């Protein structure tokens, strides 16, 4: 089997660490690996398949001789460095929002639109975490009944905000448990422990946050259908890992819950967890560190013809980020693109 030279940019971050784990756990055919990051991380060592590998400084020459680079170092870093990597023939799979809506860059979820991966598009965008898990569930339903409209409310874990978000929840929960004064939040605008914050990212003039508009715009691009209307409300919740979503759809063709369950249960990447008689449904505690997207609570909307509602849970650091990026790399190999 052919093997590939792989770079991980932003290797010391939360998602970067998960990318390394996914490359190892999924046995991606790695010939050699480089871990690249900013100057403050240079010299640190990270393990890959039992070996200690030193973190190197990210430079514009970092893509020379590499086949694929997984980027998770922030939007500005991606804007600055991804073109240099691509120019040197390296495929860039970028986890930031920098390239997602660029017409020249595919925005890919392998279960949904693998056909968008082509040889002459070297920069490939990894979608927003909350968008990924939703479109995985939407795809089989859209293929069968054509979705006209989506209304989604997300319940997003603190790990979606990186290590500082995790630290906020940890510190506040510990203080509460000890009866101590609640520490001031360092990442979120308000206390997150035992609270919900109905704001992720900044607000646009239309009253939606940028996170919510990502779900709207990215869904249409990934699904290849600009006629799908999407309205999202994104909420940060005091959960460490895995995002949950309440999704409502309206379809052109009638779609019964039974048919929807049949479609979902046979779709790639999905595990149906739906037996309300036994209180079986997906929860973030079950989805953490798991590679699938879980769907449950599938039911007809009693207020609308051709309406269906369901619950979707997935690990935001895995399928929502690192796993999807590695799956894109796997698809590049499977299609003979690299």
CA 270 to chain centre: 15
Q: What angle do CA 107, 108, 113 make, to 5 degrees?
A: 115
Q: Are 91 and 121 in contact (CB under 8 A)?
A: no
Q: Are 306 and 326 in contact (CB under 8 A)?
A: no
In the annotation, is 60 catalytic? no
**Euclidean distance between CA atoms 313 and 296, whole angstroms:** 9
Give the sign of the dihedral formed by CA 91, CA 93, CA 96, CA 99: positive
| Catalytic residue from among 90, 142, 234, 243 | 243
In the annotation, is 129 catalytic? yes
SS3 category, 280? strand
| Catalytic residue from among 90, 129, 142, 234 | 129
Residue 237 token pair: 């919740």
Sheet strands (E) in the chain: 4-9, 30-37, 45-48, 51-57, 68-71, 91-94, 123-125, 147-156, 229-236, 243-251, 270-272, 293-300, 307-314
Annotated catalytic sites, by residue? 129, 243
């Amino acid at each position: 089997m052919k093997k590939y030279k792989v770079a991980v940019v932003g290797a010391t971050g939360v998602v970067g660490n998960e990318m390394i784990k996914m490359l190892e756990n999924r046995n991606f055919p790695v010939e050699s690996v480089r871990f690249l990051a900013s100057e403050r991380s240079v010299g640190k060592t990270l393990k890959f398949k039992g070996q200690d590998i030193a973190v190197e400084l990210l430079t514009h020459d970092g893509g020379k001789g590499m086949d694929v680079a997984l980027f998770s170092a922030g939007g500005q870093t991606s804007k600055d460095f991804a073109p240099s990597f691509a120019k040197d023939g390296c495929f860039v799979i970028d986890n930031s929002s920098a390239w997602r809506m660029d017409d020249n860059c595919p925005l890919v979820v392998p279960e949904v639109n693998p056909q968008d991966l082509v040889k002459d598009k070297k920069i490939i965008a990894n979608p927003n975490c909350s968008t990924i898990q939703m479109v995985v569930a939407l795809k089989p339903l859209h293929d069968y009944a054509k979705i006209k409209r989506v209304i989604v409310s997300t319940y997003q874990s603190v790990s979606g905000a990186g290590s500082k978000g995790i630290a906020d929840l940890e510190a506040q929960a510990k203080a509460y448990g000890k009866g101590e004064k609640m520490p001031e939040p360092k990442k979120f605008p308000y206390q997150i422990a035992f609270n919900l914050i109905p704001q992720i990212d900044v607000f646009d003039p239309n009253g939606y946050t940028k996170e919510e508009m990502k779900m709207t715009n990215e869904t249409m691009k990934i699904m290849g259908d600009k006629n799908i209307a999407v309205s999202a409300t994104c909420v940060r919740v005091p959960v460490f890992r895995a995002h949950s979503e309440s999704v409502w759809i309206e379809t052109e063709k009638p779609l019964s819950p039974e048919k929807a369950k049949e479609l979902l249960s046979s779709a790639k990447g999905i595990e149906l967890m739906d037996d309300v008689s036994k209180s079986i449904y997906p929860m973030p505690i079950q989805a953490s560190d798991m590679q699938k997207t879980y769907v449950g609570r599938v039911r007809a909307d009693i207020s609308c013809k051709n309406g269906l509602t369901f619950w979707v849970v997935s690990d935001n650091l895995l399928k929502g980020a690192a796993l999807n990026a590695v799956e894109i790399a796997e698809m590049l190999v499977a299609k003979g693109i690299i």
